[in-house]
C-alpha cells in the first residue's frame, strides 16, 4: 500500500511540477520577447530622432515640414507613450556645452526656416522652443542671485521674443499642441499671474 500510495503521490506531483516549469519557461520567454520588443522600439525612436536631426542639420525645411505634418496628423506615439511630435522638436536642441557660435548658428537656421515658410506653425513653434532654450542658457543653472545682469537681460529678451513668435501663431492652422507646452515654459520664466496662466490652460484644454 505504501508503494502504491507513494506511486500515486508521484504521479500527482510530477504533472504539477512540469506545469510549473512550463509556466516559468513561458514567463521567461515572454520577458525576453518584451525586452526584445522594447529594444526595437527604442532603436526606432532613436532612428526617428536622428533622421529628424539630419533634416534639420541639412536645412531640409521641406522635409521637416512634411515629417511634422505626418506625425501631427497621425498623432504618432512611440511604444513608451511619448508623442513623436515632442521628439521631433527636441531632436533640434542645441547642447548646453556648445559654444556661443553654435547657438548663433542654430538661431540662424530657425530664422532661415521661418523665412522660407513664414506661415508654418511648425517653423514657429520650433523657433520659439529654441529661443526658450537659448533664454535659459543665458540665465544658466545658477541661483537667481548669482546670475549676471547680462544673463537676466538676455533671458528676458529671448523669452519675450519666443512669446511674440507664439502669439503671432495662434491663428495659423493646423494648431500644434506643442505650442502650449512652450507657452507653459514661458509662463514659468516670466512669472505670469495665476489668472493669465489659467486662461492659457483653458485655451489648451479647448483643443482636445
Please report the DSSP string for 93-123 in residue order: PPPTTS-HHHHHHHHHHHHHHHHH-TT-HHH
User: Which of 67, 91, 115 is the C-terminal boundary of a domain?
Assistant: 91
Separation between Cα atoms, residue 10 and residue 44, nearest integer Å: 50
How would you write the pLDDT of the chain (208 residues) with one tens digit per residue?
554 555 555 565 666 565 666 666 666 666 665 565 567 778 889 999 999 999 999 999 999 999 999 999 999 999 889 999 999 999 999 998 999 999 999 999 999 999 999 999 999 999 999 999 999 999 988 888 889 999 999 999 999 999 999 999 988 988 898 999 999 999 999 999 999 999 988 888 887 6
Do 86 and 108 share a domain, yes or no? no
Do 126 and 110 meet the contact criterion of CB atoms below 8 Å apart? yes
Cell of residue 6, nine digits: 507513494
Whether 123 and 200 map to the same domain: the answer is yes
Residues 119 and 56 in one domain: no
Same domain, 111 and 138: yes
For residues 111 and 200, state if they share a domain: yes
Please indicate, yes or no, whether residues 72 and 43 belong to a single structural domain of this protein. Answer: yes
pLDDT at 34: 58
Query: Which of 91, 107, 142 lies at the terminal end of a domain, its last residue?
Result: 91
Q: Which pLDDT tens digit goes with each residue over 172-198?
A: 988 898 999 999 999 999 999 999 999
The pairs formed by 42-46 with CB atoms below 8 angstroms and a separation of 24 or more are 44/78, 45/78, 45/79, 45/80, 45/82, 45/87
- Residue 38's pLDDT is 66
Model's pTM, two decimal places? Answer: 0.80
Q: Are residues 151 and 189 in the same domain?
A: yes
Domain check: are 125 and 73 in the same one?
Answer: no
- Range of 31's domain? 1-91
For residues 67 and 149, state if they share a domain. Answer: no
Amino acid at each position: 500500500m505504501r508503494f502504491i500510495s507513494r506511486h500515486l503521490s508521484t504521479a500527482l506531483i510530477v504533472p504539477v511540477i512540469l506545469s510549473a516549469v512550463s509556466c516559468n519557461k513561458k514567463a521567461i520567454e515572454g520577458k525576453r520577447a518584451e525586452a526584445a520588443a522594447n529594444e526595437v522600439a527604442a532603436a526606432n525612436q532613436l532612428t526617428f530622432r536622428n533622421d529628424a536631426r539630419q533634416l534639420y542639420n541639412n536645412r531640409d525645411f521641406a522635409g521637416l515640414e512634411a515629417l511634422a505634418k505626418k506625425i501631427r496628423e497621425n498623432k504618432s506615439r512611440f511604444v513608451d507613450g511619448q508623442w513623436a511630435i515632442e521628439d521631433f522638436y527636441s531632436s533640434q536642441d542645441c547642447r548646453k556645452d556648445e559654444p556661443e557660435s553654435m547657438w548663433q548658428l542654430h538661431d540662424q537656421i530657425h530664422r532661415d526656416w521661418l523665412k522660407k515658410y513664414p506661415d508654418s506653425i511648425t517653423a514657429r513653434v520650433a523657433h520659439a522652443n529654441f529661443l526658450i532654450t537659448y533664454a535659459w542658457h543665458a540665465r544658466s543653472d545658477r541661483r537667481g542671485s548669482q546670475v549676471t545682469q547680462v544673463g537676466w537681460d538676455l533671458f528676458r529678451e529671448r523669452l519675450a521674443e519666443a512669446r511674440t513668435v507664439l502669439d503671432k501663431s495662434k491663428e495659423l492652422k493646423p494648431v500644434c499642441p506643442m505650442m502650449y507646452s512652450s507657452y507653459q515654459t514661458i509662463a514659468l520664466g516670466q512669472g505670469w499671474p495665476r489668472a493669465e496662466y489659467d486662461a492659457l490652460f483653458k485655451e489648451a484644454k479647448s483643443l482636445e
